[in-house]
Amino acid sequence: MTKKILCMILCCMLAFGGIALAYEGAAPVTEETKTFSILTTNSGSKYYDWDNMVWWHKVLENANIELDMELIDNSAYSDVVRPRLAAGVDLPDIVRLPGSDDDMSYANSGLFLDLAEYYDTLGYNIKNHFEMFPTLKGSLTTPDGGMYYVPTLTPAEANMRLVMVNRGFLDQLGMKPEDITTLDEFTEYARKVKEADLNGNGDAEDEVPIFIRSGMIGLFRMYFGIDAEGWYMNEGGTVICTAIDDRYKDFLTWAHDAYADGLIYNEFASANYDTQAALYSTNQTGAIIHFISNCTDYSQDINPDWRFNVDEPIMVPLAISGPNSDKVCWGRNVYSGGGFGITSFCDDPETCFAFLDYLFSEEVGVLTWYGIEGVDYNIVNGDYEFTDVYYANKDNYLTVMGYNCMALPNAYQLYGSKQCNQVRAAIDEFSKYVVNPSIGYSYKYEDENEIINAYSADLNTYFSEQQTAFIMGTRSLDEWDDYVATVKSMGVDQMIAVNQAAVDRAAQ
């Protein structure tokens, strides 16, 4: 058989077999330019001038794809999309879900295509992420084996959460960051911040030893050997409710004592970004618990002359151990539900999926976070060296170019924040201490959702209220047994059973 005939036979097979796409994970996605319509929002930078996002248009150019994009303001997105999905007519090719769809209402609606086969045959780049994140494929898969969405992968190691302490305060106390290695030492440092006038304004009372923003205090649970989230799976695979565990009581005891001693910010339950920024601007903050990548912003908030990539962070990230934990930094699940679905209105789902897969390539990660070689960075001795244009970030340059644009599927955790030397160094130092939530995202069956809908909201409200009350001392921890009994009466065992079943399914 001649090569020519063999070639003809192969071409016929491909044409009739419907596998006409030559995509193997690299650009161009298609030889012939294709246009897809998409309804989405930018939940990252919340900047909406898509037409001028040069880096993303380079991605499209490489892929040979054009997008007819309807980019909705993030705050209005859910209100805009839900009615259109409910109507279910004339949907664009790609729709970003308005929520996590953990009750599978959209997955079961028939509006979105089951992408499992495309994942299998065309998911060249996404499948690499399945290897990196072992829970990811299970989280994307419905109990009957369907895969309806292409995810955005949220930062894990690049956005670990940990405590940070004020370098200027340490200096005045004659201390070094490495002097603080345990929660006890951290608490002792906070006590010294309380006692002294470390910002030198003549007022020994105005420093806030441990500033905590609304919703963040639970992160301190990590030092007590339990998840910072509500449900926790122990090493034996058994699900427990964090909020009635004895280790949680230990956390509450520590937090209450620290609060009563004036170490924890008195408005920890309600403090917002504005409070945080105001305290930094007058250098009142002794410590905070938050994302590692924020150490640069915090440093600049304290000293506007602080220089990216040059100066040591003023707010110094620390990995510390706790009464019931080794050194730990809190991670997060790489996927928390939802994502981008290809609708049944799409007439070329194969190419559409290939395009979404291409977005997970290293080429796109670099383009959309680091920019264009020669303009935004150069590669020097194998390392990225960013240009003055990139670092200067004049007139919000990075955002305008497309940095942190979350309008399309994205593999943020591999690139975001790491362009800053200080953050990269901190991540390198601390990533080995990252603990991720023990329970990953999962779909639930209908009867499970009925239980969740019946109990979850009330339980979460109760947990949150009681946590604040115990810490502030408006409820005594002497009433712990009554508290646990109340939680039991509120359906917690049914909720544990639902989570246990989901965990068991994911383990299969």
Instruction: Identify the DSSP state of 269.
Output: T
Query: Given the complex with Ca ion, which of 172 and 344 has the nearer CB atom?
Result: 172
Instruction: Identify the DSSP state of 317.
Output: E
| Count of residues that bind Ca ion according to CB under 5 A | 7
Of 15-23, 196-204, 219-227, 234-242, which part binds Ca ion (CB under 5 A)? 196-204
Terminal Cα distance for the chain, rounded: 48
Q: Report if residue 199 touches Ca ion, rule: CB under 5 A.
A: yes
Give the DSSP H or E segment for 325: strand 325-330
- As given in the structure block, the two tokens for residue 452 are 């969740």
Which residue number has the CB closest to Ca ion?
A: 207
Kindly state the smallest distance separating residue 195's Cβ from Ca ion, in Å: 6
Of 86-94, 152-160, 195-203, 236-244, which part binds Ca ion (CB under 5 A)? 195-203
Q: At 94, is the secondary structure helix, strand, or coil?
A: strand
Kindly state the smallest distance separating residue 210's Cβ from Ca ion, in Å: 12
In angstroms, the CA 68 to CA 210 distance is: 48
Show the site string, 203-232: x = touches Ca ion by CB under 5 A, - = not: xx-xx-------------------------
Identify any residues that bridge with 95 across adjacent strands, giving them in sequence order: 39, 341
Q: Report if residue 197 touches Ca ion, rule: CB under 5 A.
A: yes
Kindly state the smallest distance separating residue 507's Cβ from Ca ion, in Å: 50
CB 216, CB 422: distance < 8 Å: no
Of 139-147, 189-197, 352-360, 486-494, which part binds Ca ion (CB under 5 A)? 189-197
Instruction: Identify the DSSP state of 313.
Output: P
Kindly state the smallest distance separating residue 314's Cβ from Ca ion, in Å: 16
Query: ω before 83 within 30° of 0 (cis)?
Result: no
- As given in the structure block, the two tokens for residue 150 are 């292409």
DSSP 61-80: HHHTEEEEEEEE-GGGHHHH
Of 105-113, 192-200, 234-242, 269-277, which part binds Ca ion (CB under 5 A)? 192-200
Query: Given the complex with Ca ion, which of 197 and 297 has the nearer CB atom?
Result: 197
Query: Given the complex with Ca ion, which of 283 and 419 has the nearer CB atom?
Result: 283
Kindly state the smallest distance separating residue 173's Cβ from Ca ion, in Å: 11
Query: Given the complex with Ca ion, which of 28 and 262 has the nearer CB atom?
Result: 262
- What are the respective helix, strand and coil percentages of the chain, to the nearest 5? 45, 15, 40
In angstroms, the CA 390 to CA 110 distance is: 44
Tell me which residues in 54-93 interact with Ca ion (CB under 5 A): none
Q: Which of 33, 105, 201, 282 binds Ca ion (CB under 5 A)?
A: 201
Kindly state the smallest distance separating residue 169's Cβ from Ca ion, in Å: 9
Query: Given the complex with Ca ion, which of 143 and 262 has the nearer CB atom?
Result: 262
What's the angle, vertex CA 193, arms to CA 190 and CA 199, rounded to 5? Answer: 145
Kindly state the smallest distance separating residue 116's Cβ from Ca ion, in Å: 59
Amino acid, res. 133: F
Q: Report if residue 425 touches Ca ion, rule: CB under 5 A.
A: no
Kindly state the smallest distance separating residue 200's Cβ from Ca ion, in Å: 7
- As given in the structure block, the two tokens for residue 298 are 């915090």
Q: Report if residue 261 touches Ca ion, rule: CB under 5 A.
A: no
Amino acid, res. 437: P
Kindly state the smallest distance separating residue 191's Cβ from Ca ion, in Å: 10
Strand pairing of 340-342 and 94-96?
A: antiparallel
Nearest in space to 36 (alpha carbons), one of 14, 5, 9, 69 = 69
Give the DSSP H or E segment for 85: helix 77-87
Query: Given the complex with Ca ion, which of 192 and 424 has the nearer CB atom?
Result: 192
Query: Given the complex with Ca ion, which of 40 and 284 has the nearer CB atom?
Result: 284
Task: Using CB under 5 A, list all residues that contact Ca ion.
Answer: 197, 199, 201, 203-204, 206-207
